[in-house]
DNA sequence: ATGCTAACCTGATGGC
DNA sequence: TGCCATCAGGTTAGCA
């Protein structure tokens, strides 16, 4: 579930169903799913087993589970098609099940309520995502894994620095959508929410960042936060069963999208058909009337 | 130093 | 029915 709202939906599920439980066993069924864990699958399993899982955290599209009693965290990235599912142990394996994590309380007396008897599964069709174990940044209050120290804070983080973001945009010689997708400038924004926020701000995706005024950047940030908050309230955006919460349920924000995926459909502001343009091996959706292209440089 | 492309995967879909 | 090309919500190594 690639973008911030979808990952946050998963984080909330993990907090409810996984945090506080103790790992009984780890089974890695596909080595690619732990390729970011340099010491390999056996090491990953060994170091995790026996430890209690702390409060699930997130920055941008990354989430992690602190490993209590060891300065470690399980870092997770869902890539394009990853899912973290909390499933009953007797549920048949999913076709693309990559990692299974069992807990000491299951099966067992319902000490943990509905969570008892469930396990955590990492399912990933395209294997762009994965889990890994990493040390934490010394002094970081939330146990930030060291390998994602370069990832910028996300726009829903209270510590996100709006002024610094604007200064960074002015310094860059790139275009606004590229900047929004650059996770070292602002994290959590992907192709869907970039297009949605640009549509709401009436900005063309190829607008040079150096031409943005401070008020314009402020508007853009406000719209990013607004669309992400709206999506979160709807349970995230799903076009198909690949993007689901830990219980396998899809969000329904896709019906509220104004630009993304709406090629040839009327702009909800002015009625002009939304256009799709090939862009960086993917697509950009925009309203040609509301979002005028910048002057050629 | 910075910006950009190609590559990493599997599966769904549409045209011929 | 099959084959091929295209597309999909992300990240990163490596090149210019």
Q: Cβ atoms within 10 A of the Cβ of A184, count?
A: 9
CATH topology of domain A4-148: N-terminal domain of MutM-like DNA repair proteins (3.20.190)
Question: Could you report the per-residue pLDDT of A16-43, keeping only the tens digit for each?
Answer: 999 999 999 999 999 999 999 989 999 9
Residue A139 in this model has a pLDDT that exceeds 60: yes
The residues spanned by each domain of chain A are 4-148, 162-286
The protein residues having a beta carbon less than 7 Å from any atom of strand B are A 32, 80, 95-96, 125-128, 172-175, 178, 280-281
Cβ atoms of A258 and A285 closer than 8 Å = no
A35 nearest nucleotide via C1' and CA:
B8
Q: What is the assigned CATH class of domain A162-286?
A: mainly alpha
Question: Could you report the per-residue pLDDT of A164-192, keeping only the tens digit for each?
Answer: 999 999 999 999 999 999 999 999 999 99
Q: Which residues contact A221 (CB under 8 A, 6 or more apart)?
A: A155, A162, A165
Three-state DSSP class for residue A162: helix
Q: In chain B, which nucleotides are within 7 Å of a protein Cβ?
A: 2-11
Cβ atoms of A85 and A98 closer than 8 Å = no
DSSP state of A26: E
Residue A110 in this model has a pLDDT that exceeds 80: no
Would you please indicate which residues of A are annotated as catalytic (active-site) residues?
Answer: 2-3, 61, 282
Residue ranges for the known binding site of A for DNA are 96, 126, 172
Q: Which residues contact A294 (CB under 8 A, 6 or more apart)?
A: A204, A206, A207, A208, A211
Q: In chain C, which nucleotides are within 7 Å of a protein Cβ?
A: 7-12
A window 140-159: Cβ near strand C (< 7 A)? none
């Amino acid at each position: 579930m690639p973008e911030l709202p979808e990952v946050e939906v998963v984080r909330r599920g993990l907090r409810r169903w996984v945090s506080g439980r103790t790992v009984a066993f780890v089974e890695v069924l596909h080595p690619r799913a732990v390729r970011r864990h340099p010491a390999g699958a056996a090491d990953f399993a060994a170091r995790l087993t026996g430890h209690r899982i702390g409060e699930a955290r997130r920055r941008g599209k990354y989430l992690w589970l602190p490993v209590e009693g060891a300065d470690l965290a399980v870092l997770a990235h869902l890539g394009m098609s990853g899912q973290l599912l909390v499933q009953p142990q007797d549920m048949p394996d999913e076709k693309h099940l990559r990692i299974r994590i069992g807990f000491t309380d299951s099966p067992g007396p319902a000490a943990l309520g509905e969570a008892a008897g469930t396990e955590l599964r990492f399912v990933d069709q395209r294997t762009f995502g994965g889990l890994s174990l990493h040390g934490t940044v010394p002094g970081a209050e939330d146990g930030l894994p060291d390998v994602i120290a370069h990832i910028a804070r996300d726009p829903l983080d209270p510590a996100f620095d709006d002024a610094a973001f604007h200064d960074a945009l002015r310094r860059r010689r790139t275009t606004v959508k590229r900047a929004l997708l650059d996770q070292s400038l602002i994290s959590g924004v992907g192709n869907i929410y970039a297009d949605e926020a640009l549509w709401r701000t009436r900005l063309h995706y190829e607008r040079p960042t150096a031409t943005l005024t401070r008020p314009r950047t402020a508007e853009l940030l406000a719209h990013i936060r607004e669309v992400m908050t709206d999506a979160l309230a709807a349970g995230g955006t799903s076009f198909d069963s690949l993007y689901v919460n830990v219980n396998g349920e899809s969000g329904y924000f896709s019906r509220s999208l104004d630009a993304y995926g709406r090629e040839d459909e009327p702009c909800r502001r002015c009625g002009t058909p939304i256009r799709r343009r090939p862009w960086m091996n993917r697509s950009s959706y925009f309203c040609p009337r509301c979002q005028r292209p910048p002057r050629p440089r």
